[in-house]
């Protein structure tokens, strides 16, 4: 932590202690704190607007998260299906390779006997 960050953190802690000693509502305390930090007066109506925006963002974020989860489940299912197909193809390849090896062996023997 740099000296500036430490100084800022210390000032914020001092402000928090001062505000916590004053018996006010949380929203009044936040307004006072933001006013001190910004150096200009913050109105409580602005906090209510911010609350609405934050709530809308959270709702929006939940919708996006749900879409991502649903998409992830689809991808996982598709991945499992592909894995199953890959395993089947691997078995078929081994079988074909075995058949080819057997065919090659028989072909070689047949060629030797026909000469």
Q: pLDDT digits over 36-49, tens only?
A: 766 777 676 766 66
**pLDDT: is 74 or 19 the higher one?**
74
Q: Is the pLDDT of residue 89 over 90?
A: yes
- 32 found inside a domain: yes
Domain that holds residue 5: 1-42
Q: State the first-to-last Cα distance of the chain, in angstroms, to the nearest integer.
A: 88
The CA-based diameter of the chain, rounded to the nearest angstrom, is 110
- 22 found inside a domain: yes
Give the predicted TM-score (pTM) of the model. Answer: 0.41
Give the mean pLDDT of 97-108: 94
Given the structure tokens 């109105």, which residue do they identify?
Answer: 43
List, for residues 50-59, the tens digit of each pLDDT value. Answer: 656 555 666 6
Number of domain units in the chain: 1
**Cα–Cα distance for residue pair 80/74, rounded to 1 Å:** 10
Q: What is the pLDDT of residue 78?
A: 93
């Amino acid at each position: 932590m740099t000296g500036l960050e430490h100084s800022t953190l210390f000032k914020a802690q001092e402000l928090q202690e001062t505000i916590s000693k004053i018996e006010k509502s949380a929203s009044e305390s936040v307004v006072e704190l933001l006013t001190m930090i910004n150096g200009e007066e913050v109105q409580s109506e602005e906090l209510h607007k911010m609350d609405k925006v934050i709530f809308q963002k959270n709702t929006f974020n939940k919708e996006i998260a749900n879409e991502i989860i649903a998409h992830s489940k689809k991808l996982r299912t598709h991945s499992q299906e592909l894995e199953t197909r890959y395993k089947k193809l691997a078995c078929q390849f081994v079988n074909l390779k075995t058949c080819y090896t057997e065919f090659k062996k028989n072909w070689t023997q047949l060629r030797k006997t026909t000469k």
